[in-house]
Chain A
Amino acid sequence: MTQLSNNGYLKVIKPGPLTTLQDAGRFGVRRLGITQGGPADLHAWAWANWLLGNPWGTPALEITLGGLELKAEQDCSLALCGADLGATLDGEPLGCWQSFRLRKGQTLSFAMPVAGVRAYLAVKGGFIAEPVLGSVACVTRDQLGGHLGNGRKLTIDDRLGFSVHGNSPTNRSVPEAEQLDYRAPASLALIPGAQVAAFTGDSLFRAFNSPWAVDTRADRMGVRLLGPALRCTMNSMISEGIALGAVQVPPDGQPIALLNDRQTIGGYPRLGTLTPLACARLAQCAPGHQVWLKATAIEAAQNQYRRFRAEF
């Protein structure tokens, strides 16, 4: 346990609509109906921690749509990755995909989304929170995790603790190839699943050869896609476990890609499973954004994920 006297704090002046603390997620307890949680954009979250030399799984803030304002009670090293939410440091524009120093008394603010939906703010050593069931991942629906342990999102006057640390020698940037352009149409790698044969051939062809648009019904549970309806010969199934990225298709034919806060079981036929990096990319798509589904083989997807994880 870190001693209280060695802790520094960021004070929440404005919480924004949905700012939560996320580590890699809550695992090993899904059989009990407990949601996975974790960062919706694994890619940006991982690079934010990388910038500060934090190990994989270090808790960082997920800032949805901006609106957050934090004031430093002590000096600290921070890193910002993911969406451009119009960040400013004491009113001066602050670039994304880099680490920086926030001095005692300075204010870090997020306005509105410019590109992308979710930004990740990491602190050197990580934000301090008591793990619940092995994780600090904040899942509001389950009332588990987060900075207070009870699944609450950030609220005004909260104080986010971290271990006081010295200055990082240099400010780092994320390699340019990893600074994703969220304005471009998203190509989402999908591993076709077992029920793919239950969809009619022409609707299946269109699903992989036409653009989909992200619906307004998009949150940490899942993202609904609008486009040419998928036709399936099965309407519903007996409820069964659902993996991250599972693309389920309700009878209206508009698929829902299930993300970190999805329920643990569900009963719609599935087109397949998005790769973790495809889920991360989708999590940065605002309503109306164009996405394409690209079928991929499991071996290729595993290799891609291993290359990604080898960076950290």
Chain B
Amino acid sequence: MKYHPDSGLPRLENAGIDAWMIRLFDAIDEANMPWITALVEACEQALGDNLVDIVPSYTTVLVHYDPLKLDSQQVRDLLQSLLAGLTATDTGSDASIKELPVWYDPSVGPELALLQQQTGFSLERIIQLHSEHQYRVFALGFAPGFAFMGSLPAELELPRLSTPRKRVPAGSVALAGRQTSAYPQISPGGWNLIGRTPARLFDPTSRELSLLQVGDTVRFVPVDKEAFIRLGGDTTPTETLS
């Protein structure tokens, strides 16, 4: 990876007795993600069993190593050399696109009405806008398997709800700002709900655990109520659960 003197990036920042923060970029961009995923793989290979945890996010990778085995400076030197030789992972083949079926319906997507009101678009147009775009997973966080994806078309941008819901149903497809996501399990949440997916986003018994991984390309595929039910979806209206 080329060093950019203007921004001082990439840069290593101390994050405690067992961690370095690797800062690669200074702005959110879908083009960041092949670099981020390449760096995660490189760290896994270079640190092996001494890698305790690694947290990729929009512009950074947080690397936790075993502080009983490695010195801070040692890890710093290792990461510096990794960065010097880093090349982006080539992604972009259609095979790697993950598709999430979504039933877009006001009963499970109460903020569809708000979007219609704000944009003046028909329901069909909103569904089309949300589902024709391909998104990148920037980070997982907030809850196990919750994927922050972007970037949402500007027309669909809404602020978070001023009062978060206490109980957002599992599978709820949501958006806030220029990002979209789906809630893996029932949880509190302040994003705008526009539909529901029957996909199992987080399964502690599966090998991958989380259906979506950082760097993935994702597309939402509209399905009707019958298909949603056939795929195992729960049609209980949002407001009866919240």
Kindly list chain A residues whose C-beta atoms are within 8 Å of the C-beta of B146.
33
Is the pair B72, A263 in contact by a Cβ cutoff of 8 Å? no
When chains A and B are docked, how far (Å) is the Cα of A239 from the Cα of B72?
Answer: 24
Is the pair A302, B17 in contact by a Cβ cutoff of 8 Å? yes
Kindly list chain A residues whose C-beta atoms are within 8 Å of the C-beta of B58.
238-240
Q: Tell me if A114 counts as interface (CB < 8 A to partner B).
A: no
Range, interface on chain A: 35 or more
Question: Which listed residue (A33, A142, A298, A302) contacts B210, Cβ 8 A?
Answer: A33
When chains A and B are docked, how far (Å) is the Cα of A246 from the Cα of B15?
Answer: 8
Is the pair A191, B21 in contact by a Cβ cutoff of 8 Å? no
In the assembled complex, the CB of A48 is this many whole angstroms from the nearest CB of chain B, namely 21
Is the pair B55, A265 in contact by a Cβ cutoff of 8 Å? yes
Kindly list chain B residues whose C-beta atoms are within 8 Å of the C-beta of A273.
14-17, 19
- Contact flags A217-248 to B (C-beta < 8 A → 1, else 0): 00000000000000000000011111111100
Question: Which listed residue (B14, B71, B142) contacts A193, Cβ 8 A?
Answer: B14
Q: Tell me if A112 counts as interface (CB < 8 A to partner B).
A: no
- Contact flags B12-39 to A (C-beta < 8 A → 1, else 0): 0111111101010001100000000000
Kindly list chain B residues whose C-beta atoms are within 8 Å of the C-beta of A264.
55, 140-141
Is the pair A309, B68 in contact by a Cβ cutoff of 8 Å? yes
Most buried by B among A31, A142, A193: A31
Given contacts A240-B57, A243-B62, A298-B72, contact A32 B16 (CB under 8 A): no
Q: Tell me if B120 counts as interface (CB < 8 A to partner A).
A: no
Kindly list chain B residues whose C-beta atoms are within 8 Å of the C-beta of A46.
none
In the assembled complex, the CB of A116 is this many whole angstroms from the nearest CB of chain B, namely 24
Q: Tell me if B217 counts as interface (CB < 8 A to partner A).
A: no
In the assembled complex, the CB of A36 is this many whole angstroms from the nearest CB of chain B, namely 8
Residues of A111-137 whose CB lies within 8 A of B? 132-133
Q: Which residue of A lies closest to B52 (CB)?
A: A27
Question: Which listed residue (B55, B71, B185, B202) contacts A30, Cβ 8 A?
Answer: B55
Kindly list chain B residues whose C-beta atoms are within 8 Å of the C-beta of A305.
17, 67-68
Kindly list chain A residues whose C-beta atoms are within 8 Å of the C-beta of B17.
191, 273, 275-276, 298, 301-302, 305
Is the pair B55, A29 in contact by a Cβ cutoff of 8 Å? no
Q: Which residue of B lies closest to A279 (CB)?
A: B16
Kindly list chain B residues whose C-beta atoms are within 8 Å of the C-beta of A169.
none
Kindly list chain B residues whose C-beta atoms are within 8 Å of the C-beta of A263.
141-142
Kindly list chain A residues whose C-beta atoms are within 8 Å of the C-beta of B110.
none
Q: Tell me if B135 counts as interface (CB < 8 A to partner A).
A: no
Kindly list chain A residues whose C-beta atoms are within 8 Å of the C-beta of B19.
243, 273
When chains A and B are docked, how far (Å) is the Cα of A244 from the Cα of B11?
Answer: 21
Question: Which listed residue (B52, B64, B140) contacts A32, Cβ 8 A?
Answer: B140
Q: Tell me if B233 counts as interface (CB < 8 A to partner A).
A: no
Residues of B195-228 whose CB lies within 8 A of A? 202, 204, 209-210, 213-214
Residue pairs across A and B with Cβ atoms less than 8 A apart, 12 shown, are A27-B64, A31-B55, A32-B140, A33-B142, A34-B144, A240-B60, A241-B56, A246-B15, A265-B142, A273-B16, A275-B16, A305-B67
> A residues engaging B (CB < 8 A)?
27-34, 36, 132-133, 141-144, 191-194, 238-246, 263-265, 273-276, 298-299, 301-302, 305-306, 309
